Amino acid sequence: MRVLFTTWAWPSHLYGMVPLAWACQAAGHDVVVASQPTLQRTIAATGLTGVSVGADRDAETMVRGYLLPAAAERGRSEPVSPRTGRGPRALQMFLAHADAMLDELVEVARQWSPDLIVYEPTAWAGPLAAQVVKVPAVRHLYGADLLVRARQLLPELLAPLARRHGSAPVDPTAAPTIDPWPARLRLPGSRADLPMRHVPFNGPCQSLPPNTGSADRSASRASRRRICVSWGHTIARVSPSRFIAGAVAKALAAHAEVILAVSADQHELLGPLPDGVRVLHDVPLRTILPGCDLLVSHGGAGSILTALDAGVPMLLVPQLPDHAAHAAAVLGAGCGAVLNRAEATPEQLRREAGSLLTDKAVADAVHEVRRDMHAQPGPAQLVPRLEQLALDRV
């Protein structure tokens, strides 16, 4: 079987699909990941084969358009109009990437002849190309199914791209859906045709950092708790002034051991740090969180799933609409607390962190979600289901 995975050029969207792509490859299937040029080096670093399709788009500027307050207000007030292209800026961004990728993705699919196209939920070129070349498509969520709210709008929004290739309208939410998001955190109406255990992948790791795992924590856990602070990659790229990881770590350092997990290029944004903060550069969260008692972060889907997989409660300070939606799901499931940016003062951060570190109800909720997640079939167990979907086409 040949499986074509596709995403637009945003690493966290790719990372959500890597374990399933590995599982397909390990089962003996041919796997290729199609994305825009700027993601090719990242694809190669995962050990997968990449193919460049289409042109890059300025995603950072597009994200900035709905991060900054004035633009966010305009985005919320405008309905989606597929005829004018006006509407919430996230949908405009996904449409721009689909437009940039579609023609070359169709050409790759015609030449390589995949049996299946797997796409992350915002990579709309995937289901469009699958319909054009007449192969089954599978949608692979990386977080909550946020596009369920826009389901009725999407076929008309994508109709001009479909017509460009002589295709009927496509609903990108209609394909069989692989869902690693915990059932207790799912949005009403979201699809989960193929529930899957989340296997954390936050980027390659060359070596394990010393003194970060759970084994070295048994003796010291009771006397001094360990907090991981991580702020993902998006906020620093689109608005460095809103990258508050250093300030958060500084606020918590007097009351706990703090590990600050950042990329090397984020270090200059941290500011002065007290001695109690240990900075780790480019170390995946999956290697750090099993030895921690709390994650304080921005609310990205990958960070949340990694924390839940490790059984770690969360204190979240979201600043993007998708981060806010994911954080609300965590709060609703009782797995953590949420502050907005104005509320995230040093005093309130310390108060909320201290409460979460001692709250048995939160700890119990996290471990219940973790148990449910681990009971789901892993990526390798889903490969036969994908094989059957491909066979049903024949």
Return the H-helix or E-strand segment holding 338: strand 336-338
pLDDT tens-digit readout, 319-339: 988 999 999 999 999 999 999
Higher pLDDT, 42 or 75: 42
Q: Domains in the chain, start-ordered, CATH in brackets? A: 2-197+376-393 (3.40.50.2000), 215-374 (3.40.50.2000)
How far is it, in rounded angstroms, from Cα 18 to Cα 46?
7
Residue with tokens 């995403």: 7
Percent of the chain past pLDDT 90, that is, above it, reads: 80
DSSP state of 14: H
Q: How far apart are CA 298 and CA 278, in angstroms?
A: 19
Question: Which one-letter amino acid corresponds to residue 381?
Answer: Q
Q: What is the pLDDT of residue 216?
A: 56
Pairing of strands 50-52, 314-316: unpaired
pLDDT digits (tens, 9 = 90+) for 182-206: 999 999 889 889 999 999 999 887 7
Q: What is the pLDDT, as a whole number, of residue 59?
A: 87
Mean pLDDT of 159-181: 96
Beta strands in 231-370 (DSSP E): 257-262, 277-281, 294-297, 314-316, 336-338
213 pLDDT tier (thresholds 50, 70, 90): low
pLDDT tens string 233-262: 989 988 899 999 999 999 999 889 999 999
- Cβ atoms of residues 276 and 252 within 8 Å: no
d(CA 140, CA 137): 10
How many whole angstroms separate alpha carbon 25 and alpha carbon 18? 10
- In this structure, of 28-37, 61-70, 202-211, the range with the lowest mean pLDDT score is 61-70
d(CA 319, CA 76): 15
In 3-state terms, what secondary structure has residue 258? Answer: strand
Q: Over the chain, what is the mean pLDDT?
A: 91
Vertex 38 angle, CA 281 and 242, to 5°: 50
Per-residue pLDDT at 56 exceeds 60: yes
Residues with Cβ within 8 Å of 336's Cβ and at least 6 positions away in sequence, in order, are 313, 314, 315, 316, 330, 356, 362, 366
Least confident of 28-32, 82-86, 101-105, 357-361: 82-86
Cα gap 14→6, rounded to integer Å: 8
At residue 381, does pLDDT exceed 60? Answer: yes
Please enumerate in sequence order all residues whose Cβ is within 8 A of that of 258, keeping only pairs 6 or more positions apart, or say none.
226, 227, 228, 229, 249, 252, 276, 277, 278
Local confidence band at 87 (pLDDT 50, 70, 90 cut-offs): very low
Spatial separation of the C-alpha atoms in residues 168 and 134, rounded to whole Å: 12
Q: How confident is the model at residue 125 (pLDDT cuts 50, 70, 90)?
A: very high
Please give the angle made by the CA atoms of 258, 263 and 268, to the nearest 5 degrees.
Answer: 85
Say yes or no to pLDDT of 81 above 60.
no
pLDDT bin (cut points 50, 70, 90) of residue 75 is: very low
pLDDT band per the 50, 70, 90 thresholds, residue 66: low
- Give the model's pLDDT for residue 223: 62
pTM (2 d.p.): 0.92
pLDDT, tens only, 251-303: 999 889 999 999 999 999 999 999 889 999 999 999 999 999 999 999 999 99
